[in-house]
Amino acid sequence: MKKDDRLIVAQWNKLPLRFSDREVKDDAFVTNPFFDIDPKIENFKDKEPDNYGIRYFVSTPIDSQFQYNIDLYSGKLYRERAFCAQDDIWDNYSGDLLTPNFTQGFVPRVYDEAKQPQRMIVISNKEAIEPFKEQPQYFDLARVIGSVVVERCENFPCDQNEKWKASQILVGVSAREVQLNSLDTFTALKKKINWNYAKAMIANMNGYHKLGGRTHAAFRISKELNLKDTYAYFTKNSKKITNEEFAGLNTWRVGCMKLYDSIWDESEKIRTQPHGQAESFLKLFKEFYAKSSNEFYECQKLVRPANIVENHRRLWFFSYIQAFNLLEKNGFYYSCVDNAWAYNPRVDSSKYYVDQNKELARCRAKNFEKAFDQAINGMSLMRNQTNRQFRFIEYDNSHGGSHQKIYSWVFDKNQNFACKYDSKTPNQIPFEIFPQDVVWENFKQEENGVVR
């Protein structure tokens, strides 16, 4: 395809100003490469003569010093970590693991079995691949030739097979790579590159578990699949968003936007009341959470509730509501008696021990709004208790960052890295969980007849 044909055109973000992200320079809609590209997955076949290039976009280029991920909420790349010299925790590769010898990308509109954007690694010379951009402008094409199945153990100890969760990473060659495009088997491709190094990078580049000064594996490659088996595994486990489902997503987003508008408009009306603001907001929040917390949780994964340029107060309001919701849906609850967040153990796969709605019924307006500022501390508690956390990114402006305006909560893998030579590695420097200059805007309270 000609380069002009590969231009990513904004579609997903064509929304009213209060929900959309716009370019500051010309007020154009910002692209979301995951949703704005049709992957042409029908070009992926299980037989070599019929197997043509599918569409993907580059997320981390070959030999990059930094690993990037995509935030589906904003559609933008952000820095996940810096690479450093490491040993192979599985002892299958004896040299230093430095940077990937492959390009990483995502297949748009496709989720893997872990319900994450479908990952793909592309083997090619740099010149044959679309140059890396922190905000992808063009998609590229690659011919799938095989895959690896990577298993992740989220919580140590990893002594039981059911603790290891699998996801497939497609392996392809660039459609414009002349030297490699004649290869018709995964085995032949492995002989052309340093595959042992590539495998070790895949198994190690996302970190380890660390306990008592020792490191333990958190990722492993369980399978290497040829084209036919890759296609069978992909067809069984991956989820492609069809054109009909994409249209349904747009309809679903309308409901999310109505939900956002409803709670914001009602909250703003409460702020105009001369008396009883805090009491009215607590009542509103109880009703909203009992009725719509699950819907809100799904909406906040993909639909932006506010544009900071159009209304910064609305954006920060929803950022705190999102923090409350993320904590509650990931195993924590807010106790109004203790004015603090606490770990909430599971009773079974669908139910937690403490019902947050029943706990909200015990809250009093005087102390309830502490829940939102305390939610930031709750994020640190999540990290310590569950080895999971979310962090809020305004601008991804750290060293090696994508320098993109993101303004969203992103999931942090929270892994450890054993860098061999650096005395103070950038991977051990903690990210800021939330902007320190932002606070929850309290509703007015009345104490002894005085409005505060």
What is the distance between the alpha carbons of residues 183 and 173, in angstroms, rounded to a whole number? 9
Among 31, 51, 49, residue whose Cα is nearest residue 41: 51
Tell how strand 351-352 and strand 389-395 pair up: unpaired
Q: What is the pLDDT of residues 24-74, one digit of tens each?
A: 666 788 999 999 999 999 999 999 889 999 999 999 999 999 999 999 988
C-alpha–C-alpha distance, residues 154 and 156, integer Å: 7
Render pLDDT for 174-192 as a digit per residue (tens, 0 to 9). Answer: 998 888 878 889 999 999 9
Distance of CA 137 to the CA centre of its chain: 20
User: How does pLDDT run across 291-318, given as a tens digit for each residue?
Assistant: 999 999 999 999 999 999 899 999 999 9
DSSP letter at 68 equals E
- Enumerate the domain spans of the chain: 3-240, 243-451
CA 208 to chain centre: 19
Question: Can you tell me the distance from the alpha carbon of 332 to that of 352, in angstroms, rounded to the nearest whole number?
Answer: 9
Neighbouring-strand partners of residue 117: 111
CA 93 – CA 353 distance, rounded (Å): 45
Phi, psi of 432 (to 5 degrees): -70, 130
Between CA 322 and CA 248 the distance in angstroms is 24
Integer-rounded Cα Rg, in Å, for the chain is 24
- The predicted pLDDT at position 450 comes to 45
pLDDT of 99 reads: 96
- CA atoms in the 13 A half-sphere facing the CB of 299: 24
pLDDT for 111:
97
| Widest pairwise Cα distance in the chain | 82
What's residue 424's pLDDT? 53
Residues 6+ apart with CB under 8 A from 16: 257
The ranges of the chain with pLDDT < 70 are 24-26, 414, 422-430, 447-452
Are residues 434 and 376 in contact, defined by beta-carbon separation less than 8 angstroms? yes
CATH hierarchy code of domain 3-240? 3.90.80.10
Output the pLDDT for position 440.
96
Residue 84 to residue 205: CA distance in whole angstroms: 9
Q: How far is CA 75 from CA 10, 251, 303, 306, 449, in A?
A: 11, 19, 10, 15, 49
Residues 6+ apart with CB under 8 A from 354: 333, 342, 344
pLDDT for residue 448 = 52
pLDDT at 387: 74
